[in-house]
Amino acid sequence: MIYTLIIHNAPYQSATAGTALRFAKATLAAGHSIHRVFFYRDGVYTANTLTAPPRDEQNIPALWQQLAQEHQLDMVVCIAAAVRRGVLDEHEAKRYEKTAHNLAEGFELSGLGQLVEASIVSDRVVTFGGPQ
């Protein structure tokens, strides 16, 4: 079975990001594949390299990066939602004349077309969180 995951909430906004991460791990452990993880709305904060949770909390963004590296996951961040929230790659930082960029390694900025394509090729699309 091929899955696409959509994450709507910020990593520490609710339990959503941790639940999605556990679901992804269980899905992969069961022998299924994940075509794409799409971070949308406040979920784009997961890709902020400046996230620094307290030491006694899970570093959810780093755990997503680790899982993506281990399983070659495609982690796409909605570009419109990211730019609006100040999550920029080097190209977008230059485009908007910002002095720095903060998109974490392993994440890619792209549009909703990536979500549409992922929905077409996946057997299941699972959404975590939603509009607040």
17-46 tens-digit pLDDT: 899 999 999 999 999 999 999 999 999 999
Which of the four pLDDT bands, split at 50, 70 and 90, describes residue 66?
very high
| Token pair recorded at residue 25 | 């791990």
CATH of the domain at 24: 3.40.1260.10
What residues make up the domain containing 33? 2-128
For residues 47 and 102, give the distance between their C-alpha atoms in angstroms, rounded to a whole number: 8
In tens, the pLDDT along 82-129 reads 999 999 999 999 999 999 999 999 999 999 999 999 999 999 999 999
Residues tagged active-site: 78
**How many domains does the chain fold into?**
1
